[in-house]
Amino acid sequence: MNCKLCNFRCGADRSIKTGKCGIDDKIYIAHYGLHCGEEPFLTGEHGSGTIFFAGCTLRCRYCQNWQISRWDINKGTAGVETVSAKRLVEIFKELQSMGAANINFVSPTPYAHHLMYAIRAAKDNGFTLPFVYNTHGYDSIETIESMKGLIDIYLPDFKYGDDKTGKKFSGAPSMYSHGKEVIKAIYNQTGMLELDGNGVAVKGIAIRHLVIPGHLESSMQVLDFLETVDRRNYISLMSQFHPCDDNYDRDYPELNRTLLPEEYERVVDYARILGFKNLLIQELESHRNYLPDFNEDTVFKD
Ligand code: SF4
């Protein structure tokens, strides 16, 4: 009734109107299923049990999930399922029966209050798979603290090395300065990532950073900060940037291309120089394999 789930802290009473994110007090799911394209420590043998929520608090100009992240509640719910928290718990069990290694909430922030309820209900009924909070990292600190004991694994993005670039490409203030506080709050809550005997994550934090073409200084600034947190943390350094917006030529011409090999190599080399112990790197072709199409029955090619 006074929403402060994300760092916009718009204070909307979502029982009577949508917040700045455009989402009211219901739960909207765009897609769920097993997903083998996540980091190996999440996919396990059969895949991560991903639940993609509709909408998002951010408006990243290069979002590869734009078909669902820019979902507009006012244009109807075609392709989007409105579910209760009880149904959400049933979906957890469905994914478990399919062999999921975990339950992976993608873009969960505006739904965090529902998730707390559903996770508690599932755990009270003996559900044991780890819960993954796969977030853009613009959650409020209170949201992260409220998840203590409920979320097992956090997968926050740390997108930008300065606030100006965050405002420009994601439309949100303080993305760097607030992002640092989020990473520290999560790390203090869970510690570094712990894997079981099969290399599957059971607890902790892993941080994702997507390298943006032409913005290597921002990536290096991100790495400089992460090095101060813990060099043993798992860092997923992603190369899969893909242009997804028809207006790039007009607004952001520098985004109208994929990453160059030499750009990615520079950032990877810098991370190695800083001494990160658990660095995950991608093939440069990843932008083709991991580009989803939520209008297809098979959302991911690979
Ligand atoms: S999640 Fe939505 S309603 Fe809540 S503070 Fe953020 S923008 Fe506002």
Q: Verify whether ligand 1 is closer than 6 Å to residue 55 (CB atom).
A: no
> Digits of tens for pLDDT over the chain (302 positions)?
899 999 999 999 999 999 999 999 999 999 999 999 899 999 999 999 999 999 999 999 999 888 888 888 888 767 899 999 999 999 999 999 999 999 999 999 999 999 999 999 999 999 999 999 999 999 999 999 999 999 999 999 999 999 999 999 999 999 999 999 999 999 999 999 999 999 999 999 999 999 999 999 999 999 999 999 999 999 999 999 988 766 666 778 888 899 999 999 999 999 999 999 999 999 877 656 666 776 766 766 65
pTM of the predicted protein model: 0.93
Task: Select the CATH number that applies to the domain covering 27-289 from these four: 3.40.50.300, 3.40.50.1100, 1.20.1440.230, 3.20.20.70.
Answer: 3.20.20.70
* CA 144–ligand 1 middle distance (angstroms): 14
Strands (E), 24-172: 27-35, 48-53, 81-83, 103-106, 131-134, 153-154
> What's the CA-to-centroid distance between 258 and ligand 1, angstroms?
31
- By the 8 A CB rule, do 144 and 189 touch? yes
Which residues is 238 bridged to in the sheet? 210
Q: Which amino acid is at 25?
A: D
C-alpha 10/C-alpha 8 separation (Å) is 5
All structural domains of the chain with their residue ranges: 27-289
Q: Is the C-beta atom of 111 inside 6 A of ligand 1?
A: no
- Which is nearest to 233 in space by CA: 173, 269, 277, 171? 277
Query: Does ligand 1 have an atom closer than 6 angstroms to the CB of 112?
Result: no
Which one, of 214, 103, 211, 210, lies nearest residue 157 by Cα? 210
Ligand 1: distance of its center to the CA of 69 in Å? 14
